[in-house]
Chain A
Amino acid sequence: MEKTKKILFALILLALLLPILQENLKIFTVKPLKGAITAAGKKSFDWPGWFEGEYQAQQEKYLNENFGLRNLYLRINNQVEFDIFRQVHARTVVIGKQNYLYERGYIDAYSGRDFMAPDSLNQLTSNLRFIQDELKKLNIDFIVVFAPSKASYFPEFIPEKLLRKAQPTNYHYLSKSFKESGINFIDFNRWFLDMKKNSPYPLYPKCGTHWSVYGYTLVADSLSRYVETMCKMDLPELKIDSIVLSDTCRETDNDIGEGLNLLFDIKGYKMAYPVVHYIWEGKKKPRVLTIGDSYYWSLFGTGIASQIFEEPHFWYYYRFQLHRAGHDGFLSSGEVNFEKEIKQQQVIMILSTEIGLPTLGWGFIPEAVDYLSHDREKKINEFTKAIKRNPDWLKQVAEKASRRNIPLDSMIMLDAIYLYEEQKKNN
């Protein structure tokens, strides 16, 4: 009897020591957590920090996130809460019927909770039409693309309490006004809904935010056909050789599911993964700039965009500039020369889902209107004149130019652009 007790207690002690052992010996391979996680940093010890309690507070945060097997214990907790209480530790995630997962913002957009005033929507339409016309004068084509929203595609699984009866939505209003205004507009939201019943493979995953791999492959083909017609060019052809069906999700097909950080994946349906090849012989690729959200990542990050467009540029939420050079690596640049970027394109595209419509373009549209109406140029010129007229200011700029070893005029222009950007931010 005593032996049994000793063994049991040894087991208990081992269970208590397991995290420390794991941390130091890495006995098990533990899956990393998913999500937009900002890690707590480690604080180095110093006596002032110790006596003020800052060291302890920061260490506790750090150790709470980094102890051995922490990810496993967290997943166990998440699984228990999900199974028993249908509760998740992932912000804005909604558990729908039959465990279909959504992000709350898409449901709100579908339900019209973010509906903007018609005046704002009309102004937006007018600005887009202006941009389209002015770009055309520069031989640049302009397209607005609506990517399909999961809430629109699978409304039947949205919890009843989050639905609202027949409310106006930005999507319906803008679809109509874009058509009426003659804006070049592709509605993949409508297209997906039209295909939903007859599509041989899923266009949307159960536990992913974005269109399925199969879905965006079809989108890439359709988009290239549209651009082909618009630019009167013969673009490379995308050919689907075969479809691989899999129970294991790839790419973003399970991004919400993974973001729940459960112990076991939520059971979904088989997803389709096309095996494709491209025909480039005798084909031409246009230069395309896309201002888009995470849906365009599917085309850009996988390299599809590079197959059909010439070195495609992607302004991700109009915050980060990404070029894809070959198949490997990204170049990113902090400073965007707006004029230079615009002028080198043949096609400029804004791609967004319903959730992005209140902020469509993420700042690109007013910037483009400014530039194309020469307001931008005017304002930058005013700043260059102000610098040149003020001797002290000019002296400072000259010193900067000398330090950077660039011509004075270039430095004045850079400063003027900087001041224009700052003024825009403050307005």
Chain B
Amino acid sequence: MVFSSSIFLVYFLPLFLLVYYISDRKYKNFVLLFSSIIFYSWGAPKFIFVIIGTTLIDFLLVQAMDKTDPRWKRRFFLTLSVSINLGLLFYFKYSNFFVENVNSVLSVLGMKDILWTKLILPIGISFYTFETITYVVDVYRRVHAPLKNFWEYQLYIILFPKLIAGPIIRYHQIADQVTDRSANETFDDRLTGFFRFVLGLTKKVLIANVMGETADAIFAMDGNTLTSAAAWIGILAYTFQIYFDFSGYSDMAIGIARMVGFVFPENFNNPYTSQSITEFWRRWHMTLGAWMKNYLYIPLGGNRVSSARRLYFNLWFVFLVSGLWHGASWNFIIWGAYHGLFLVLERSFLTKWLEPLGKIPRTLLTFFIVVIGWVFFRIENFSDAIAFIQTMFSFHLKPLPELSVQFVSIFVLAIVLSFFTVSERGLRIQNYFYGNRHFNWGYATLSLVGIALFIICLGSITASGFNPFIYFRF
């Protein structure tokens, strides 16, 4: 079940909210947990047992770890828990990729392939695996005590607003809210949460989906017919598609969570206004960045390593892993390595070199680097990606692709929304709409606008598959 579907918007969300709000405080977590199990089971009816089973094992291991004192014992439980979680992630997400590559090597050596039945990836596994790791590590580091009740832990992992596509919530950020979030269950939170949810839905349905339609059409074109203009339009459309899709989804997650008293961390902060790749990664998928920093980069030594070479290696390695986390395919690893390379270059000399350019040129240059990176992210085959980039820079502009009025309008809107916070005024406007407290007239306006946008988005969702002939054809 996805947020931008009729079944979620018309049935699941309203009924969940109704039951949640009329339930007594002591039953709210149960309602939330039960709804989350239904939500996950709908999309992954077999894997619900995997997620419940593995979280039970994790819970018991962490309980055991917390009760013990000797460091080696605690480390043992930590290692065991992390290994099980990463093992499952590897098994479900990366084993197909691993076997494919081994078979490629075997076939070059003239040997027989390993027989392997391809596995289906459980939805959300990349996200909840990282969250289970934060649980065991935060308890190990004594950042926060473990949850006493297995169902509360289950709730943290399976909480439906963030289950499928994040944000990645580190355990200590949410631990207290699982047990008591009464301070955040005000009508201000419900109203601003709803508006935040609708903003995300609008970004996804009215912007990302429109961009995606054109991007998909252009990326499906035969390389021989693809012009430079079409390639640029395609990759720019994809650039905005991925941003508005992902940030829209995060907004929806944050909004729903707020409506039920949870405060989730922000996941995006106008990443395309960044003036460097380093800054980009402080604004794009921020919760992944925070996870990588706290649970991988710092354990590797972080900034406190002895040599610049080691520092650069750590940075680059973290980005390779980030790339791989996004998908079990070489193009994601290449994308991660590409970003890692720029991070290293910026650390060593590039930031100083580009300083004199000024804000706007740096922003445009960073945007350009990010756009090129998206080519590797989008196109699975490396040589196809290179061919696409070559087409982009071949400057064979004609014929210009035919673009609908809708695409051009939304494309312009996407540019404006992606960059308007470069100015202070733009930032103030954004902060108003994303703010958590308003006057009455502000709430009234945002509520009515929110309802109108909700209706338009729902209409768009139901219309997306609706394109009949006037009369039946024979």
Contacts and interface: CB of A to CB of B under 8 A. Distances in A.
Contact of A78 (B194, B447, B455, B463): B463
A8 B405 contact: no
Interface stretch (B14-22, B300-308, B355-363): B14-22
Nearest to B15: A20
Interface in B435-468: 440, 443-444, 447, 450-451, 454-456, 458-463, 465-468
B5 A60 contact: yes
A15 B451 contact: yes
Nearest to B459: A77
Contact of B6 (A9, A11, A64, A77): A64
A117 interface: no
A349 interface: no
Given A77-B460, A91-B468, A16 B14 contact: yes
Nearest to B408: A85
B456 A4 contact: no
A81 B406 contact: yes
A13 interface: yes
B11 A5 contact: no
Interface string B11-34: 101110110010000000000000
Interface in A69-83: 70, 73-78, 80-81
Interface string A92-104: 1100000000010
Nearest to B43: A56
B469 A63 contact: no
Given A9-B191, A16-B14, A73-B459, A4 B440 contact: yes
A84 B409 contact: yes
A15 B13 CA distance: 12
Nearest to A68: B10
Contacts of A86: 405
A6 B7 contact: no
A35 B459 contact: no
A87 B1 CA distance: 29
A84 B408 CA distance: 12
Nearest to B470: A259
Contact of A13 (B17, B43, B45, B463): B17
A36 B466 CA distance: 10
A85 B409 contact: yes
B51 to A, nearest CB: 15
B474 A255 contact: no
Interface string B123-146: 000000000000000000000000
Contacts of B474: 317, 319, 362
Contact of A35 (B1, B42, B43, B468): B468
Given A56-B43, A90-B468, A64 B473 contact: no
Interface string A153-180: 0000000000000000000000000000
A63 B10 contact: yes
Interface residues of B, number: 51
Contact of B406 (A15, A33, A87): A87
B11 to A, nearest CB: 7
B472 A36 contact: yes
Given A4-B440, A9-B191, A76 B447 contact: no
A66 to B, nearest CB: 9
A1 B17 CA distance: 23
B459 A87 contact: no
A255 B399 CA distance: 36
A90 B463 CA distance: 10
B408 to A, nearest CB: 9
Interface in A10-69: 11-13, 15-17, 19-20, 33-37, 50-51, 53, 56, 59-61, 63-65, 67-68
B396 interface: no
A19 B45 contact: no
B470 A76 contact: no
A60 B462 CA distance: 11
A135 to B, nearest CB: 25
A209 interface: yes
Contacts of A59: 7
Contact of A36 (B13, B43, B473): B473
B470 A36 contact: yes
A299 B191 CA distance: 58
Contacts of B462: 64-65, 67, 70, 73-74, 77
Contacts of B466: 33, 37, 74, 89, 261
Nearest to B21: A13
B46 interface: yes
Nearest to B466: A89
Given A67-B11, A87-B404, A5 B443 contact: yes
A9 B186 CA distance: 11
Contacts of A85: 404-406, 409
B444 A4 contact: yes
B455 A73 contact: yes
A241 interface: no
A89 B467 contact: yes
A80 B467 CA distance: 16
Nearest to B210: A85
B18 A53 contact: no
A2 interface: yes
B471 interface: yes
Given A12-B450, A91-B467, A17 B14 contact: yes
B460 A5 contact: no
> Which of A13, A77, A255, A319 neighbours the largest number of chain B CB atoms within 10 Å of its CB?
A77
A23 to B, nearest CB: 9
A34 B472 CA distance: 11
B152 interface: no
A20 B42 contact: no
Contact of B194 (A1, A6, A12, A70): A12
6 cross-chain pairs, A with B, having the tightest CB-CB distances, nearest first: A77-B459, A35-B468, A5-B187, A73-B459, A85-B406, A16-B14
Interface of A: 1-2, 4-6, 8-9, 11-13, 15-17, 19-20, 33-37, 50-51, 53, 56, 59-61, 63-65, 67-68, 70, 73-78, 80-81, 84-87, 89-93, 103, 209, 255-256, 259, 261, 294, 317, 319, 362
Given A8-B187, A81-B406, A362-B474, 15 more contacts: A16-B14, A16-B454, A20-B10, A20-B15, A34-B470, A53-B43, A63-B7, A64-B7, A67-B6, A74-B463, A74-B466, A76-B455, A80-B456, A92-B469, A209-B470
Interface of B: 1, 5-7, 9-11, 13-15, 17-18, 21, 42-43, 45-46, 187-188, 190-191, 194, 404-406, 409, 440, 443-444, 447, 450-451, 454-456, 458-463, 465-474
22 contacts: A4-B440, A8-B187, A8-B444, A9-B447, A15-B451, A15-B454, A20-B10, A20-B11, A20-B14, A33-B466, A35-B468, A35-B469, A36-B473, A61-B465, A63-B11, A64-B5, A68-B10, A74-B462, A85-B404, A89-B463, A90-B469, A92-B469
